[in-house]
Amino acid sequence: GVKVVMVTGDHPDTARAIATRINILHGAHDLESEQLHGAEDFSVITGTMLESRVPKADNFTDDEAPEIVNWWKKATQHTRVFARVSPIHKQVIVQAYQKYGYGGVGDICAMTGDGVNDAPALKQAEVGVAMGIRGTEVAKDAADIVLQNDNFASIIDGIEQGRLCSANLRKSIMYTLCSKMPQFAPTVAMVFGIPSALTIAQVLLIDIGTDILTAIAFAFQPPEANLMARAPRHPKLVKLADWGVGVYSYLYIGMLQSFFCWAMFFHVPGLVAVWKQSGAGPYDYAQKETILQGRSVYYWTLVLGQIAAAIAASNERQSLLTHRFSNKVLNVALLLELVLGLVSLYAEFMQSAFSTTWIPWDLAVKPFAALVGIIAVDELRKATLRGCEQGHIRDWCSGAARARGEGAAEGDFSAFPGEP
């Protein structure tokens, strides 16, 4: 996911020797040079070669000459060393990668530097990284990140933390959206004469009372085992909350929740008879009590369904048997969600406020089928996904399907098979 390029003011021979020693270059006859015609001509580029290929304005535009565009596309694809460059050349190189890299989509660039002459490039890059020990104050002011130990390898830790934050935010979004399908379904069902299964107050109780704490708890989720082995998500190609999030939340977990909610709702004794006799209303006193009990069961099933959704979304690939509830903050949030759901059913002050009622123990236990069922189905999905990654269709499962030629990677569609 990361391509390292050396940009230096040193002599080309010196730069080539150092780059070869640290494996940035692999020699003049490496595999890439053999496979890609002309790649060896771009292995090391000097500042004099850049003089006639700088942009017309302050940055590259769509009006650049075709020969310049083609040259930079080859340079951003094959070049690993730029030598004898000036400070302005460093900025131009970053601009070129941002404009022509990644098959013409544009690379996401991080620039490291410690001197005053590195400041323009540090400012130009998406992420400027300055050295904390030997770096100048000018470089530190221009940078976004300062390495306190001046260790280049520390950047890897930063990348991992960035991926973790992105992955956890994605998980939080997926979890939050899961309940929207079973919350919306009762409104549509009333059009067909089905009694109201969920009130607005109960929807707010789920969204504000329980889901917020659980969604925040995803920020403390530890990284999955293969986080750094996955293909990166290019933000210009794949958004954080892409269509795959909708598929996972609405059409997968949301539909499973809806199924269990309606199954438990119609399992309430007498509710089917009320539906056949009175449809969407009006109802007599006995019928209202039956419907009130049905709403309580629907709400309780949805609470358990959201707990299952949180457990399922906490890890995109790892099995529950592997991570074993490693996020303690999330565990506390789920416990509070469970307690609030029970209090809403059996505390009188909550019953009057949220249109719930006491339900017998059998109707309170049976909805746990939603908790077990959703987790079991998702465990099967994860097992299938892990099996795909280990087989011949690894790229399809990891979302790293790369177009050939000048195409670019599609991104990381890791939340759901076939999806950023």
pLDDT tens readout for residues 160-202: 999 999 999 999 999 999 999 999 999 999 888 899 999 999 9
Q: What pLDDT, on a 0 to 100 scale, did the predictor assign at position 42?
A: 82
Question: How far is it, in rounded angstroms, from Cα 97 to Cα 72?
Answer: 8
Q: What pLDDT, on a 0 to 100 scale, did the predictor assign at position 404?
A: 35
- The stretch 254-271 carries a mean pLDDT of 95
DSSP 269: T
Q: What pLDDT, on a 0 to 100 scale, did the predictor assign at position 226?
A: 82
Structure tokens at 368: 């746990």
User: DSSP characters for 285-354?
Assistant: HHHHHHHHHHHHHHHHHHHHHHHHHHHHHT-SSS-HHHH-S--HHHHHHHHHHHHHHHHHHH-HHHHHHH
Structure tokens at 104: 């013409």
Q: Output 408 or 190, whichever has higher pLDDT.
A: 190
Report the percent of the chain where pLDDT is more than 70: 89
Question: How far is it, in rounded angstroms, from Cα 240 to Cα 102?
Answer: 19
Q: What pLDDT, on a 0 to 100 scale, did the predictor assign at position 41?
A: 67
At 395, is the pLDDT very low, low, confident or very high (cuts 50, 70, 90)? low
- The stretch 72-79 carries a mean pLDDT of 92
- The stretch 314-343 carries a mean pLDDT of 92
Helix (H, G, I), strand (E, B) or coil at 381: helix
- The stretch 410-417 carries a mean pLDDT of 32
At 234, is the pLDDT very low, low, confident or very high (cuts 50, 70, 90)? confident
Q: Among residues 309, 325, 322, which one has the least CA distance to residue 375? A: 309
Q: What pLDDT, on a 0 to 100 scale, did the predictor assign at position 238?
A: 87
Please give the single-letter amino acid code of residue 172. S
Q: What pLDDT, on a 0 to 100 scale, did the predictor assign at position 378?
A: 96
Structure tokens at 281: 């209303």
- Above 90 in pLDDT, residue 401? no
User: How far from 374 is each of 181, 259, 336, CA to CA, in Å?
Assistant: 15, 10, 20
- Above 50 in pLDDT, residue 33? no
- Above 70 in pLDDT, residue 36? no
- The stretch 29-52 carries a mean pLDDT of 66
Give tens-digit pLDDT for 343-364. 999 999 999 899 999 999 999 9
- The stretch 247-263 carries a mean pLDDT of 96
Give tens-digit pLDDT for 273-296. 988 888 777 888 888 999 999 999
Helix (H, G, I), strand (E, B) or coil at 145: strand
Structure tokens at 122: 């540090």
Q: What pLDDT, on a 0 to 100 scale, did the predictor assign at position 27?
A: 55
- Above 70 in pLDDT, residue 393? no
Residue 1 and residue 231 in contact, taking contact as beta carbons nearer than 8 Å: yes
Q: Write the Ramachandran bin of 281: left for phi over 0, alpha for psi from -120 to 50, otherwise beta.
A: left
Q: Output 420 or 36, whichever has higher pLDDT.
A: 36
- Above 90 in pLDDT, residue 248? yes
- Above 90 in pLDDT, residue 301? yes
Catalogue the long-range contacts made by 204-211 (C-beta closer than 8 Å, 24 or more residues apart).
205/299, 205/340, 205/344, 205/354, 206/179, 206/299, 206/302, 206/303, 206/306, 207/179, 209/340, 210/303, 210/306, 210/336, 210/337, 210/340, 210/341, 211/175, 211/176, 211/179, 211/306
Q: What pLDDT, on a 0 to 100 scale, did the predictor assign at position 43?
A: 82
